[in-house]
Amino acid sequence: MLVVAVVGLIVNAIAMRLLHRGRSDSLNVRGAYLEVWADLLGSIAVLCGALAIKLTGALWIDPLVAVAIALWLLPRGVALMRKALHVLLEGTPEGIDPQAVHQTMLSVPSVRHVCDLHIWSITTGVPLLTAHVEIESLERWYPTLDALRKAVHTVHGIEHVTLQPQGSDQPHSGHEHCDGIE
């Protein structure tokens, strides 16, 4: 039991070292990091528990240590689950203010209106944006599109942008009642 615990401790310490740097960049790496943390704690607990059981003969130490590890991991697992659910439910990524993005887009010359603005992510650190944009003239769409993409990326860090143009000289397609952000 002690030999297996020592080997597990060494392997988990190496894995923790490898995962440490990327744990805040990706939910997947964070999940793996927490799993290795649990294994590392388990190895330490098995070592301590085995020594305590050997010295005292008290077998109740083993389940006590297991419960302590579970209680330590519970809040971290819940936090990870909340972040994963936020991504799965297509919530606005942390640190991005949709109203500020909306204002940035409106500040681009020739943009008259922004509607159906959606900001979400499909994975940690990769925000996406879609919107309908009304501009003064569709003839200016490509320079306006470039300016919008640059502004949104520079100010808010959103690189993946999909925009649908609408010229102000065209009949409205139901945007006159849009509040801009959904």
pLDDT at 86: 84
pLDDT at 107: 96
For the chain, give the secondary structure using H, E and C: CHHHHHHHHHHHHHHHHHHHCCCCCCHHHHHHHHHHHHHHHHHHHHHHHHHHHHHHCCCCHHHHHHHHHHHHHHHHHHHHHHHHHHHHCCCCCCCCCHHHHHHHHHCCCCEEEEEEEEEEECCCCCEEEEEEEEECCHHHHHHHHHHHHHHHHHHHCCCEEEEEEEECCCCCCCHHHCCCEC
Is there a contact between 120 and 127 (Cβ–Cβ < 8 Å)? yes
Q: How many CB atoms lie under 10 A from the CB of residue 3?
A: 7
Residue 77 and residue 123: Cα distance in Å, rounded? Answer: 18
Tens digits of residue pLDDT in 142-172: 999 999 999 999 999 999 999 999 877 666 5
Tens digits of residue pLDDT in 11-54: 888 888 888 877 777 777 777 887 888 778 777 887 888 889 88
pLDDT at 50: 81
Q: Which pLDDT band, with edges at 50, 70 and 90, does 119 fall under?
A: very high
pLDDT at 179: 52
